Amino acid sequence: MLESFIAGLPKVELHVHHVGSAAPRIVAELAARHEGHTPVPADPAAVARYFEFRDFAHFIEIYLSVVDLVRDPEDVRILTYEVGRELARQQVRYAELTVTPYSHTSRGIPAAEFCAAIEDARVRAEAELGIVLRWCFDIPGEAGLAAAEETLAIALDHRPDGLVSFGLGGPEVGVPRPQFKPYFDKARAAGLRSVPHAGETTGPATIWDAIHELGAERIGHGISAAQDERLMAYLAEHRIPLEISPTSNVRTRAVASLDEHPLPALRAAGVPVTVNSDDPPMFGTTLNDEYAVAARLLDLDEAGLGGLARDAVEASFLPPAEKARIGAEIDTYVAEHRAAR
């Protein structure tokens, strides 16, 4: 019963990766185009098996092999639109996609053409699918300061209309957050919001660095905050939301099992949390599935799930009027569903 309720619940998605959202069908099509030059299989069923990760490092290796399949602006355009289609199918009204332009410009796609391609897809998706897409341009931390410099330059010199925030992804181990402070300072000065990953595979110190050094307004993952009561209190007091993706955390071995996930402890401490899908096809999940996981972990009924959806709206970078509109749509859906019981 809850599954059908979740399927129709209006939602926003705040932590979903651009390439990581490519469905096996699209990945297989791209692999077929580049057959002989990629380890990625050209069969959708084989792609699903390919997306089985030993640990976080192996996940990054697989992820980058899929990035290698996106080789021209038309690939970018198709991929982006298809991500929008899948999100719209799940009743997502608004999504902030984490996009890593450096991964594509370093492989030969000109920055201006990359930005034009994602914008073309964004405009078409809104017109045809009714979903609003916005971008978070993130630095691939493992590529170092050269990647940070280029990501910032693309964000500021080719700034697409859909760009709202600036992030930092990739491995956390061996990639200290403070070194990226100058780039976040400039991005924030230009009006972009700060949303770095932190505390997924490292401890609370990484989250503290993201807050104090990078001015984080939301934290990607942030699950290790549960290890630090003072940090949880700080997040709760300052209303800094965590973008949590439970299945992702298990699939990358950041958490041993869903039953051991710290989501309940974080929410019980008053930390603002949102539920997201991260790299859904790679992890064999969807945003709807993640809401079902959250319902079980947090013991939520329909009203509780509606509240979780509203929390994500509040944590988004939507203008107040749009937050109110989607929030009202969620409230109406919950009330009508309960009245029909």
pLDDT digits (tens, 9 = 90+) for 141-169: 999 999 999 999 999 999 999 999 999 99
The mean of the pLDDT values for the chain is 95
Give the domain CATH number at 91. 3.20.20.140
Give the C-alpha separation, 219 to 128, whole Å.
31
> Is 200 an active-site residue?
yes
User: Dihedral of CA 82/103/280/11: which sign?
Assistant: negative
Give how many domains the chain has, as a whole number: 1
Segments in the chain below pLDDT 50: none
Q: Which two tokens stand for residue 250?
A: 């298990």
Of 82, 119, 172, 200, the active-site residue reads: 200
- The reply to whether the predicted model has a pTM over 0.85 is yes
Contacts of 30 (CB under 8 A, 6+ apart): 22, 40, 69, 70, 75
Backbone angles phi, psi at 304, to 5 degrees: -65, -40
Please report where in the chains the tokens 């992804």 appear, as a residue.
169
Q: Which two tokens stand for residue 194?
A: 């700060």
H-run or E-run covering 167? strand 163-169
Q: Which two tokens stand for residue 84?
A: 């929008």
Show the 3-state SS of 138-180.
Answer: EEEHHHHHHHHHHHHHHHHHCCCCCEEEEEEECCCCCCCHHHH
Give the C-alpha separation, 283 to 66, whole Å.
14
User: What is the spatial order of strands in the sheet that 163-169 belongs to?
Assistant: 11-17, 92-99, 132-140, 163-169, 193-194
188 dihedral zone (left: phi>0; alpha: psi -120 to 50; beta): alpha
Give the C-alpha separation, 42 to 114, whole Å.
24
First to last CA, the chain: 11
Range of 246's domain?
A: 2-339
